[in-house]
Structure 1
Amino acid sequence: MWFKNVKAYQITQPLSLDEGDLERALNEHAFRPCGSQDLATMGFASPFSQAGKQGTMFHVVQQRFWITLKKQEKILPGAVVNAELDEMVAKIEMETGSPVGKKAKADLKQEIQTRLLPQAFTKNTYTHGFISLADNLVVVDASSDGKAEAFLAMVRKAIGSLPVVPFTRRSLQSELTHWVTESTPEGVGLLEEAELKSTDDTGSVIRCKNQPLDSEEISIHLDAGKLVQKVAFEYAETLTAIMCEDGAIKRIKFTDRIKEETDDVPKDQVEARLDAEFALMSAEICTLLNFLRGALNLNDDSL
């Protein structure tokens, strides 16, 4: 269990979680498969369910509560629906000699979708997240705000309250630009990838990869007033990632030195291995986020 992306949120008010109450609350909003006429369903599942194991609706390690949201969607290709619609419209127009109006087409399309839904394939997706009470953090493995917000909304619905704000509520362009032009905080090393954006009305964007960030080419763009939107970095020899100006952390890769710490857990002991990986991964992410709180001066404006 290794998160690849992080959308983080800071808990703004004291929050306590009773394990029995949490289990009941999540079970009340447990995942159920799509019915014949459902386009999508969403609910909580055991964090171990992707590995074919069942268990409690959450997993906890050192006050870090791992929660999994499962979504099932019906796959109904638009090309299939539109092809049937075109055939029906053509037949009606031939029989009546009159064109089919926009509302009539919409009704026909709905009729086709209703008829085809029971035959549609389904797609399952999972969103993992954890609540760290000790760090006052909620962390979601998501690359988009929409996916993270859906997770937060479901957890809030289940437990009644989840008082959080985004990990950062201001752009980090200035700080990330300082990393490139001046220096990085101790423990952070920049890699050869970044995205720069101009501050004028043109909004021009420069993306570079396998390019030293202290090169003349990059300096020219920075001198012209562009600011850093994203930058690749390594942290404390534990992981590499992309730091974004909105506070998102993407494309996280934990180093072999970290992953090897779970090598002593046999691969056939699935639950034990997932437990060890989650304990290690969640601790490292919380360490990184707590470091960034100070390095990016987030304590003054985040709560």
Structure 2
Amino acid sequence: MWFKHLHLYRLHDTTPIALEALETALEAFAFRPVSPSEGKRLGWQRPAGRHGQQLAHEIQGHRLLSLLRQERLLPASVVREEVEERAAEREAAEGRPLPRRERQALKEQVVEEFLPQAFTRSQRIDIWWDTRRHLIAVNCASRARAEDALDLLRQSLGSLKVTPLAVRQLPSRSMTTWLEDAASRPEALRLGDQVELKDANGDEGVWRARGIDLDGDEVQSVLASGRQASRLALDVEDQLSLVLHDDLTLKSLRFADALLDEAAQQEDDDDPTLRLETDFALMAQVLSGFIEQLIDWLGGEADPAAPTS
């Protein structure tokens, strides 16, 4: 249940849909397995799995939704090889080069024939909806996957006005300052042991390090060359650790042992739904507090229509 990666969005519809209406809206787009002719399909599933009864859970204003993304795996190399073979046969039989348009049609034919035989891969994506703070976060590694999830939610609700969460200070600038000057760091913040530094002009590639002292001379030397932090591992005292990216994505989330122990000690009567809701409530409480702190550390929230500094 514990989230690993989060993409953060500001929700501009300030009046949330009622939970019962939300459940009905999601039911209309419940997951169905991908058909033989489809490349991918997305649909809502019950967060608690086969034991669950609900498509949406709400605890203290925090909502949890889950969708399943299923796709057929058809390697481009397989398609390309078959197209080349068929094109060569046609060219030999007709005594002419195959025009681009006909080659494209041949490719579409190969995909249509091979797709039903392709293996499928499924991925669960969770959405956390903080109705009190008007925040939506998508638990997945890829920004493109997060946008797919929001598109499905928008389709289900008929409308969804969201923009990526924006702050007044560029995260890269703040992360660089935290690296350069220990006194600039918020009191509850500690540096981890991972960093990625980019050349401001993009001329000299990316410098990455893991498992090192970020206050050491090596990092300071690279910073002195004019590079800026694009990723930085952070520890938030007694709460969680993560890698903050310059687009405000939170990656590699790990929650404090004390929180995991607290969750494990809660009585759930071996009820998977109660276990899910208990873990989710504790996690959402920590994450919502941290995100408020993070926004404050980065100069406050920016108007999404205004440029950041």
> After TM superposition, is the score higher than 0.5?
yes
User: Does structure 1 residue 196 correspond to structure 2 residue 194?
Assistant: no
- Aligned mate of 2:279, from 272, 277, 280: 277
1:213-233, Cα deviation, whole Å (9 max, x unpaired): 221121122222222111101
Which position in structure 2 is the counterpart of 1:53?
51
Q: Structure 1 counterpart of 2:121, which letter?
A: K
Q: Does the 8 Å contact 2:172/2:228 carry over to 1?
A: yes
Q: Structure 2 counterpart of 1:161, which letter?
A: S
Map residues 116-135 of structure 1 onto 2, 5 A cutoff: 116-135=114-133
Q: Structure 2 counterpart of 1:259, which letter?
A: L
SS of the aligned residue for 1:263 comes to helix
SS of the aligned residue for 1:44 comes to strand
Cα 1:267–1:91 change in 2 (3 A) is farther
CA–CA distance in structure 2, aligned partners of residues 195 and 124 of structure 1: 31
Q: Structure 2 counterpart of 1:104, which letter?
A: E
CA–CA distance in structure 2, aligned partners of residues 173 and 56 of structure 1: 40
Which position in structure 1 is the counterpart of 2:221?
220
Q: Structure 2 counterpart of 1:82, which letter?
A: R
Q: Structure 2 counterpart of 1:298, which letter?
A: G
Cα 1:300–1:74 change in 2 (3 A) is closer
Which position in structure 1 is the counterpart of 2:293?
291
SS of the aligned residue for 1:234 comes to strand
Question: What percent identity do the matched residue pairs reach?
Answer: 28
Q: Structure 1 counterpart of 2:295, which letter?
A: R
Cα 1:80–1:218 change in 2 (3 A) is closer
Structure 1 residue 48: Cα displacement: 2.1
Which position in structure 2 is the counterpart of 1:12?
12
Which position in structure 2 is the counterpart of 1:172?
171
Question: Which stretches of structure 1, 4 residues or more, deviate above 6 A after TM superposition?
Answer: none
1:243-279, Cα deviation, whole Å (9 max, x unpaired): 1121111111112211111223569532222221111
Structure 1 residue 100: Cα displacement: 2.8
Query: How well do the aligned residues superpose, as a CA RMSD in angstroms?
Result: 2.1
Q: Structure 2 counterpart of 1:288, which letter?
A: F
Gaps of 5+ in 1: none
Structure 1 residue 203: Cα displacement: 4.8
Q: Structure 1 counterpart of 2:187, which letter?
A: E
Which position in structure 1 is the counterpart of 2:88?
90
Q: Structure 1 counterpart of 2:98, which letter?
A: V
Cα 1:152–1:299 change in 2 (3 A) is same
Q: Does the 8 Å contact 2:243/2:251 carry over to 1?
A: yes
Structure 1 residue 7: Cα displacement: 0.8
Structure 1 residue 201: Cα displacement: 5.0
Q: Report which stretch shifted further, 129-138 or 85-94.
A: 85-94
